[in-house]
Structure 1
Amino acid sequence: MDQFILFGDSITQQAFSQDAPAGHEDPSGFFGPALADAYLRRLDVINRGLSGYNTRQALQVLPQVIPPPEKARVRFLTIFFGANDARLPDTYPDPQQHIPLEEFKDNVRAIASHPCVLAHTDVRIILITPPPFHERSALESDRVEDGSREPNLRRTAVAAATYAQEVRELGEQINLPVLNLWTAMMKRADYQGTGIDDGMLPGSMGDRDVQSRANTVLKSYLHDGLHFTRTAYEVLFEELMALIQRKWPDQTPEALPFVLPRWDDEEAWKVEQASLL
């Protein structure tokens, strides 16, 4: 079967997880199983999420991620990085993950235009922006994990928003569709603003209204400030399916035939039998 490859960092890697995050009853991994079920017997959904990777590392291993056309045809490719690139420089612990903004943008462009990707005819590439970040949840998670030291803020809400903006701009520049996950989540949190440099974004320490709907919703999406709960993966799934419906209506699950015939398709089985003679 043709492949639907999910290429990203830990948020992609955990998209199939059946473990429930601390404080949550439901396993987080909704997106992966939902997508695999939607395309069942039509496309193989391949998880190539690599925890901790930034775009520099992703670009280096890309030839090992994308199969050559003679092995398998790639129909869809999602590129979902930035959460690690946006980590602040010189923060504990090593090794560092930060990638400067311009290099990040160049790396995503290089991934999308890599010869290994373009070797596939009509591969449908989707860029996904980094999600929002919830700083208080990240600090709380750090305290639980390592109570022996004062936690430090390795990522910020503003940095997440800034790297998301770079993905949006790149999509416009190279004419690729962008799943604007940052905005989709913020809208569901009733955030109406657009500014990202005032330190008052929902999820930031600068936003003192910790009981606001925006902060409450973001906290329900990001169990440790960064990684997704089931609810967040549901948003990702809804947004991805809506994008495919808009951009490629002929590639929705309903529009694609089964690769192998139904068990009760008598005419198809006559053809199959004849091909064996």
Structure 2
Amino acid sequence: MIIHSEETGKGYPVVLLHGYGETHHIWNNYTNKLSPKYRVLTPDLPGFGKSDALPYDHSLDVVANSIYDWLKKKNISECIMIGHSLGGYVTLEIAKKFPNIISGIGLLHSSALADTEDKKLGREKSIEFIQKHGVPKFIESFVPMLFMEENRAAYSAEIDKLVEEGKKIPEKIMTDYMLAMRDRSDSRDFLLEFEKPLLFIFGEKDTSVPLARSKEQIKYIQQPYLRSLPDTGHMGMFEKEEEVYKAISKFIEVTLK
């Protein structure tokens, strides 16, 4: 299968993974800034963007295997990996399965905690909505909600682009990944054992990963690099671009020292 990706710059590999219903394009402004110092790679996860879908389900386990195989084809034996939301779940899965390839982890609006029962129910309702009304209708309602309400007007152009890209994703991909997120395991024990640097960026107004849930995880992180984003929803890479870039840039520097 083909994993489509963009690659810029030279130096130590930094891999940026997008979230649910997104593509590698969410990282465009970051690759431009990071590529003068690093080799920056931004793949489309299987089934999203221009990447092939997997021939079976898209569980986090098999998605992690496919990204690992892609890294090997790129001759990458070690990298820093940073993931937004779903991309963070995939990052954690890769770090669990293939620890030697990861020198540092970044979780951006993501979580090491398993879904609560309410969250699982919400994902199941989303699947029902997608199957009944289709992906375009779902994406039109889903994407704006990721931004803090007061920020939506200012980022209407970004929201429109995300919606247009998201509408193209096949229904099975959307429902498969929703199930994968629902069924993922709790990773707190892994955090307790993970002794490498971990960047944890969270939005104080994030309704997808509420602030209390984000704070709950901090005590499990052995080498935490924390960045709390006020007045920010689930899309800090847009809502607080400069702050997120600075946090990522500093984290890479510290990790490579």
* TM range, smaller chain: 0.3 to 0.5
Answer 1 or 2: which has greater strand percent. 2
TM-score (norm 1): 0.41
Answer 1 or 2: which has greater helix percent. 2
